Amino acid sequence: MHRYIINRILLMIPTLFGVAIITFVLLRVVPGDIVLLKLAGDGGRIEESVLQQERAKLGLDKPIPLQFVDWTLGALHFDFGLSMWTGRPIVQEVAIRVELSLQLTIMASIIATLLAIPLGAMAALKQDTWVDYAIRLFSIGGLAMPGFWLGILTILCLLVFFHYLPPLTFTPLLQNPAENLSQLIWPALTVGYRYSAVATRMTRSTLLEVMRDDYVRTARAKGLAEQFVVLRHAMRNALLPVITVIGLEFAFLLGGLLVTEQVFNLNGIGKLMVEAVVRRDYTMTQALIMLVASAFVVTNFLIDLLYLFLDPRISYS
Amino acid sequence: MATTTDAVLEVAQPSKRANWRATTRRSTWVGLVIEFARRRTLGAVGAVVIIVMILIALLAGIIAPYDPLETSFLDQLMPPSPQNWLGTDSFGRDVLSRLIYGSRTALKIGFGAAFVGASIGAVLGVTSAYFGGKIDLLLERLMDILISFPLLILAVAVVTALGNNDTNVIIAITIPIIPRVARVIRSSALSIRQMPFVEAARGLGASHARLVVRHMLPNVMAPYLILVTAFLGQAMLSEASLSFLGLGVAEPTPSWGLMLRGASVQFVERAPWLAIAPGVALSMAVFAFNLLGDSLRDALDPRLRL
C-alpha cells in the first residue's frame, strides 16, 4: 500500500518531465519571436543590436539545452522566472488570476454534481420511459452544444429578457459575495451544465448495471423499501466511477476554461494562457501548462487514493 | 500455408459481425440498415441528420443562395428576410450561405481529425497491448504525457507552433485524440491477445506484422468505429472552439466557430441571428454524431465506457 503510493508519486515525475520537455521544444520551434513581436510588433524597424540586447536580457541567446536546465532548476523550487512579455514575476501574474479560475471550477463542479447524480439516477430507475429519454436528450444536448455558444446565449437571454449584464470586474468572494456570485454564476452554470452531461450518463449506466447485481436482489428480498435499496445499497457502489468522472473534469476545467473566460470576458488562467501563447511568452506558457498538467496528474492520483478508502475490495499491491 | 491458417482461424475466431448478422436474420446490407433503424431509432435519426449534412456540404455550390465570401456594405447586419433567410453579418455576407459552406469546413476537419487520430491511436493501442513489456510501458508513459495536456491547450499550442491553415488545424485536433483512443483500444486488445485464435496463429508461425494486422486490428473494429463517431463530434467542437478563439481556420473561410466570433458577440443584442444560427447548426451536427455513436456502442460493444 505504501509502496503503491510511493510508486505512483515517482511515476508522476517522468510524466511531468515529459510535459516540460515537449512544451519547451514546441515553444522554441514556434516560428515567430517574442523579441520581434514585442519590440517591432507594430511594424517599426529595429536595429539588430537592440534585438540582440533584448534576447540576452531574456536569456534567449543561450543554447536551448542550457535554457532548459536553467528553467528546470528554477521550477524545482517554484521559481518560474519573469513573464517575457510583461517582465513581472510569473508566480505573481498567475496568483491574481488563479482565484477566479479556481472558484469558477469549483462552482461548475458543484453544479455538475448536483445535476448529474439525481438526473442520472432518475434516468436509470425509470429506464426506457419518457423520463429516461428526456434526461438522456438533455445530457446529450449538453455534450453537443459548444460551451462558448451556451455562454453567448446566456448573455443574450439576460440582455433581452432582463436587460441585465453581469458585472465585468472581478470582486473576490470574501470581499463582496453577492457581487462575486452575480458575475460568476452565469459562466459556472453554462460550464456546469456541459460537464454534468458526462457524469449524468455515467451515473445512469453504472446504476443500471448495479441494479442487476445479486446484492440488490438480496436487499429487495429482505423486504427493504425501494428507496433504501437504491440509496443505501445501489447508489454507494454506482457512484465510484462517477467520482472519477467528476474528478477528472475538475482537473481538466482548471485549464479548460479558455473559451468560457473569453466569452464572459473573465480575467482568469485560460485567458492568460491564450494571450501567452499568442504573444510567444515562452516562460508564461511553460509555467501555465506545467500548472495545469500538474493539477491533472495530482488529481488523477488523488482519485485513485480515494478509491482505496471508498471501496475496500480494491487493494493496489 | 496462408490458406490453412485462415481456414483454421475462420472456425476459431468469434466474429462479432457474424453473430450480429445471424441475430438480425437478414444478410444483405439493406437488411442490416433497416434492422438498425428499427432497433435504434435515435441512432438512425442521427445517421439521417449526418447524411443530410454531408449532402448539403457536397451540394453547397448548388443550394447556397449567395457566394459565402461576397461582401456588401449596403446590407450589413440585415435581419432575416425573404432575400436573406438568416440575415447578413457585419460584412453584409449572407449567413445562410456561410452556414451551408461552413458544413464543408466542419465535416472536412471533423472527419480528418477523427479518422487520423483514431487510426493512429488504434495502431498504437494494439501495438502496446500486443508487445507488452517495455514497449507497452514506454507507449503508456507517452500517452500519459499527452493526456495531461488539456485537449484545447494542446491544440492551441500546436496551431500557434505550425500556423493556422486547415491541415494544421486538423493536426492540432488530432494529437489530443490519439492518446484517448489508444487507451480504450489497448484495453480491448489486451483481452484479444489472450484468445485462442491469436495463439493458434502464432503457433502456425505468423509474423508479428501479420498477427497485428490480420488478427488483432480487425477485432478492435467495434470500439474503433464507436470511437471515430464519438470523436467526430468532439473534433467538430474543437475546430469551432479554436476558430472562435481566432486560432482555427482563418477568415474569410466560412466556419461555424468563426461565425460565432467577434461580430456575433459584439452585436449580440442588435443582431442575435448571427449568434443563434451557427450554434444551432453546430449543436445539431454534434448531437447527430453523438446519437449515432451511442447507438453504435449499444449495438456493437455495450460494455465499452466512453
Q: pLDDT tens for residues B75-111?
A: 777 788 887 778 888 777 888 888 999 999 999 999 9
Distance from CA of A205 to the nearest CA of B (A): 9
H or E stretch covering A213: none
> What's the confidence (pLDDT) of residue A32?
62
| B302 → chain A, closest CA residue | A205
Q: What's the pLDDT band for B17 if we cut at 50, 70, 90?
A: very low
| B150 → chain A, closest CA residue | A252
> What's the confidence (pLDDT) of residue A259?
84
Q: Residue B225 and residue B75: Cα distance in Å, rounded? A: 45
Q: Which of A188-202, B74-88, B130-144 has the lowest mean pLDDT?
A: B74-88
Distance from CA of B67 to the nearest CA of A (A): 25
B165 touching A, CB under 8 A? no
ipTM over 0.85: no
Q: Residue B155 and residue A21: Cα distance in Å, rounded? A: 17
Q: Which residue of B140, B147, B160 is the best one to mutate when testing the A interface, meaning the one whose CB has the most A CBs within 10 A?
A: B160
* The pLDDT of residue A12 is above 80: yes
| B161 → chain A, closest CA residue | A30
**Residue of A23, A159, A262 lying closest to B245 (CB–CB):** A262
Q: Residue B115 and residue B205: Cα distance in Å, rounded? A: 32
* Half-sphere exposure in the Cβ direction for B16 (13 Å, CA): 12
> What's the confidence (pLDDT) of residue A53?
75
Residue of higher predicted confidence among A278 and B305: A278
Q: Which of A81-85, A131-135, B188-192 has the lowest mean pLDDT?
A: A81-85
Most confident of A159-173, A239-253, B262-276, B282-296: B282-296
Q: Are the beta carbons of B152 and A259 closer than 8 angstroms?
A: yes
What is the rounded average pLDDT for all residues in chain A? 82
Contact B268/A262, CB-based, under 8 Å? Answer: no
Contact B153/A155, CB-based, under 8 Å? Answer: no
Work out the number of other CB atoms within 10 angstroms of the CB of residue A276.
25
Q: Residue A198 and residue A185: Cα distance in Å, rounded? A: 21
Residues on chain B touching A149 (C-beta within 8 angstroms):
260, 275, 278-279, 282-283
> What's the confidence (pLDDT) of residue B14?
44
Distance from CA of B7 to the nearest CA of A (A): 38
Residues on chain B touching A160 (C-beta within 8 angstroms):
269, 272
Q: What's the pLDDT band for B18 if we cut at 50, 70, 90?
A: very low
Q: What's the pLDDT band for B21 if we cut at 50, 70, 90?
A: very low
Reduce the DSSP state of residue A127 to 3 states and report it: coil
Q: Residue B221 and residue B185: Cα distance in Å, rounded? A: 9
Q: What is the DSSP letter of B250?
A: P
* Ramachandran sector of residue A278 (left: φ over 0; alpha: ψ -120 to 50; beta: rest): alpha
* The pLDDT of residue B173 is above 60: yes
* The pLDDT of residue A35 is above 80: no
Q: What's the pLDDT band for B152 if we cut at 50, 70, 90?
A: confident
**Residue of A29, A152, A293 lying closest to B260 (CB–CB):** A152
Most confident of A35-39, A48-52, A150-154, A248-252: A150-154
* The pLDDT of residue A118 is above 80: yes
Note the pTM of the prediction, 2 decimals.
0.83
> What's the confidence (pLDDT) of residue A42?
59
Q: Which residue of B53, B142, B148, B273 is the best one to mutate when testing the A interface, meaning the one whose CB has the most A CBs within 10 A?
A: B148
Q: What is the mean pLDDT of residues A4-32?
A: 81
**Residue of A14, A153, A259 lying closest to B245 (CB–CB):** A259
**Residue of B141, B145, B268 lying closest to A22 (CB–CB):** B145
Q: Which residue of A11, A130, A139, A148 is the best one to mutate when testing the B interface, meaning the one whose CB has the most B CBs within 10 A?
A: A148
Contact B144/A277, CB-based, under 8 Å? Answer: no
DSSP A48-114: HHHHHHHHHHHTTTS-HHHHHHHHHHHHHTT---B-TTT-SBHHHHHHHHHHHHHHHHHHHHHHHHH
Give residues 239 to 278 of B whose Cβ lies within 8 Å of A.
240-241, 244-245, 247, 257, 260, 264-265, 268-269, 272, 275-276, 278
> What's the confidence (pLDDT) of residue A268?
86
Q: Are the beta carbons of A249 and A195 closer than 8 angstroms?
A: yes
* The pLDDT of residue B2 is above 50: no
Residues on chain B touching A127 (C-beta within 8 angstroms):
none
Contact B290/A274, CB-based, under 8 Å? Answer: no
Percent share of chain A, pLDDT over 90: 9
- Residues in Cβ contact with B126 at an 8 Å cutoff, skipping those fewer than 6 apart: B185, B186, B189, B212, B216, B217, B220
Tens digits of per-residue pLDDT, A267-288? 888 888 888 887 778 888 888 8
Distance from CA of A58 to the nearest CA of B (A): 20
Residue type, B273: W
Q: What's the pLDDT band for B13 if we cut at 50, 70, 90?
A: very low
> What's the confidence (pLDDT) of residue A31?
63
Q: What's the pLDDT band for B263 if we cut at 50, 70, 90?
A: low
Q: Which of A166-175, A293-302, B55-64, B139-148 has the lowest mean pLDDT?
A: A166-175
Here the cell at position B238 is: 474543437
Residues on chain B touching A29 (C-beta within 8 angstroms):
161
Tens digits of per-residue pLDDT, B184-199? 899 888 888 888 888 8
Nearest-10 Cα torsion for B210, B212, B213, B216: 120
